[in-house]
Structure 1
Amino acid sequence: MLLQNTPLTAKALAHFKLPRSPFVDDVQTRDDVYQSPAVRYARAALLDAAQNHGFVAIVGESGAGKTTLVEELEQRILDEGREVLVIKPYVLAMEASDSKGKTLRSTHIAEAIAYALDPQLKIKSSPQARFAQLHELLKASRRAGRRHLLLIEEAHCLPLATLKHLKRFLELKDGMARVIGVALIAQPELRHVLHSQNPEVREVMQRCEVVELPPLDGELEAYVSHKFGRFELTEADVFTPDAFGALRQRLIRTPRGAKPGEGAVSTCYPLAVHNLLARAMNAAAAVGAPRVDASVIAHC
């Protein structure tokens, strides 16, 4: 179930005594990030890839919180004074084939890394010289105490050739130590590619840890409590106890043709939760209901 973005009305904000919407620009500090067990593991996996030059893919549906994890990692590096350079190639208009957009190739990645290490660098023209130049830059930077993380967002749009070549970036070493880690941020399509029997990606599949961000199902009450706690409200100030079961029910998608209860898929991800909560709170405020209950949610 995909819900259209719904802002809280001024009436709803006043009705529930909120100074602003808890669903817009809601993550402004690291303390604002809800720490479910899955999120804590994904955070640790990203930091490990940065510190120890590992290979990880963070996979989740749209609105699952992947971008928030990336931003939290970058803020954590700043807050803790870690010597980690996060390199993010631009992925605007990136597609898996040139017929749909622009593909991100290994040469583009190499240029992004070299530019991040030395913006004034004159990049060599031949592939051999360019990659040798990159390798030397990474080794010198590592010996100076810096760690490097190549972080590619929208990685489900990577062409297979580039995905396969990521292993070769990991193979750049200084002695026995890797000089760069790789983190892929992607929607579930990447998981399907890595788990396929395609021989082109088997070397990546065998080396990349895939960390999935699951729906909030069992964490829904705690998530909402955290969200409203940032505004000094409890979930009981806004929702009746039966509201959460109704929320879960509304965020279940049953594939067409499936029998009730069979093949059901939860879409209980933060963005979908935010949109449904905003619609329900607007509806409750419109009729003057003191709190959002199951009947309000059922009709949103």
Structure 2
Amino acid sequence: MLVLKSLMQAHGIEQSAIAAVARVSQPTISQLVNHAVWPKRRTAEIRQSISDYLTGRGIDAVAAFEVVRAAETTRTDVSQQANEEGDDNMLLAKQVLLPATKKHFGLFRDPFADDALQSADDVFTTPDIRYVREALLQTAKHGGFVAIIGESGSGKSTLRRDLIDRINSERAPVVVIEPHIIAMEDNDKKGKTLKAASIAEAIINTLAPLEGIKQSQEARYRQLHRVLKDSSNAGYSHVLIIEEAHSLPLPTLKHLKRFYELENGFKKLLSIVLIGQPELADKLSERSMEVREVVQRCEVVNLPPLGMHLEAFLKFKFERLGKPLADVLDASAIDAIKARLSHDLGGKRGVISLLYPLAISNLTIAAMNLSEKLGVPVVNADVIKGL
């Protein structure tokens, strides 16, 4: 990896900030800082943009690009390296299925749109996704502490919505608590951090909305414990869900252990679900001494790319609308999508895969729009290559 990664951590710089400065995707920056792999295009321009940004913050830009040997990580998914990397020419911006394209393919709705998800039956599953779904439901019902980690567009938010839908449809006695995370950052210099006090307020407001929040810290946390116990005695379990958890500051991550340890006799009062991008895995690393007690209690689950499930994913999406996949894409197009969203680094570093639902959806929609424009009846490999 590059010295740049250590400098970013030391100065509280997120990968998203570097990506914005360099005008590339976040996976591209992840590839750069973690494995010293530069994008194939605009290399000199990207390096200069990052250098100017670092210099403006008083950081030695020359030292930032020195390569050091990366320490090994300990994560549950051996394909995590692939999840963290990418090439800026492999991803497309958000795509919209045009009306003319819908008419061309005989579709009345966008199979990839958010409103296509109406129930749990609309959620595509693989063995990995089924495990995560059940882990989330069991955590919500019976207790636990789990972190779901995946790249942007890997389906994390869909799994959160699916969990809440299943709780509601099963009429399970589970109260879902979701603190507001708008503009949340991991330090107070960049924005508003989510602190333990705010989490406590979210719990009290959810369970006892008519109660005023106690002013003193001691009284507030006694109030928190009481409302949780009252709700537990009434037969309810509680799950705290924090999205964008990669933006949680380390002190708040550390305090989550104390929330998790709240009890009513033998029963844990609060389950915790963290949902975040790969930076969360760095914060929950066993090498991080500051949060080691949290790491010991938290199960970390990574969402892998779809890989061999690409065709099944596309078939599922179109058949939910009554459209056979073969009427939209031929076999060569599926192979071309897989090739476009994969990148062989060579040697022991293997293949980077960006076969996540959002990337697949955007590429497929763009190809469908281009097919309509060209008058091609079915998307084929040549259309994919023409994007």
The TM-score with structure 1 as length reference comes to 0.95
Q: Deviations over 1:59-107 (max 9, x none)?
A: 1111111111111111111111111110000001100000001011101
TM-superposed deviation, 1:169: 0.4
CA distance in 2 between partners of 1:163 and 1:217 (Å):
32
TM-superposed deviation, 1:264: 3.4
Q: Partner of 1:149 in structure 2?
A: 239
Q: Partner of 1:111 in structure 2?
A: 201
Q: Partner of 1:273 in structure 2?
A: 360
> AA paired with 2:102?
L
Q: Partner of 1:295 in structure 2?
A: 382
Which of 150, 155, 165 pairs up with 1:60? 150
> AA paired with 2:238?
H
- Bigger mean CA deviation after superposition, 163-172 or 28-37: 28-37
Q: Partner of 1:99 in structure 2?
A: 189
CA distance in 1 between partners of 2:180 and 2:357 (Å):
25
Q: Partner of 2:371 in structure 1?
A: 284
SS of corresponding position for 2:116? coil
TM-superposed deviation, 1:196: 4.8
- Bigger mean CA deviation after superposition, 125-134 or 95-104: 125-134
Which of 1, 6, 14 pairs up with 2:103? 14
What residue ranges of structure 2 are gaps of 5+ in the alignment?
1-89
- Mapping of 1:1-300 within 5 angstroms? 1-24=90-113, 25-253=115-343, 262-300=349-387
What residue ranges of structure 1 are gaps of 5+ in the alignment?
none
CA distance in 2 between partners of 1:189 and 1:105 (Å):
18
> % of aligned pairs identical?
49
TM-superposed deviation, 1:37: 1.2
- Bigger mean CA deviation after superposition, 125-134 or 84-93: 125-134
CA distance in 1 between partners of 2:205 and 2:250 (Å):
24
CA distance in 2 between partners of 1:288 and 1:232 (Å):
22
TM-superposed deviation, 1:212: 1.2
CA distance in 1 between partners of 2:363 and 2:329 (Å):
13
TM-superposed deviation, 1:263: 4.9
TM-superposed deviation, 1:211: 1.2
Moved runs in structure 1, 4+ residues, more than 3 A?
258-264
Q: How many residues were matched structurally?
A: 297
TM-superposed deviation, 1:26: 2.1
SS of corresponding position for 1:114? helix
Q: Deviations over 1:109-156 (max 9, x none)?
A: 001001100111122222122111111111111111001001001000
Any conservation in 1 of the 2:286–2:295 contact (CA below 8 Å)?
no
SS of corresponding position for 1:149? strand
TM-superposed deviation, 1:51: 0.7
CA distance in 2 between partners of 1:185 and 1:167 (Å):
16
CA distance in 2 between partners of 1:260 and 1:21 (Å):
40
SS of corresponding position for 2:161? helix
CA distance in 2 between partners of 1:146 and 1:260 (Å):
53
SS of corresponding position for 1:246? helix
Q: 1:270/1:17 Cα in 2 relative to 1: closer, same or farther (>3 Å)? A: same
Q: Deviations over 1:159-206 (max 9, x none)?
A: 000001101001100112101100001011101211251211111111
CA distance in 1 between partners of 2:227 and 2:167 (Å):
21
- The RMSD of aligned alpha carbons is 1.4
CA distance in 2 between partners of 1:217 and 1:176 (Å):
42
CA distance in 1 between partners of 2:346 and 2:141 (Å):
48
Greater relative contact order, per chain length (Cα 8 Å cut-off, separation 6+) = 1
The TM-score with structure 2 as length reference comes to 0.74
Q: Deviations over 1:245-270 (max 9, x none)?
A: 1101111246xxx5599553111111
Q: 1:211/1:259 Cα in 2 relative to 1: closer, same or farther (>3 Å)? A: closer
> AA paired with 1:138?
L
CA distance in 2 between partners of 1:126 and 1:165 (Å):
18
Any conservation in 1 of the 2:173–2:235 contact (CA below 8 Å)?
yes
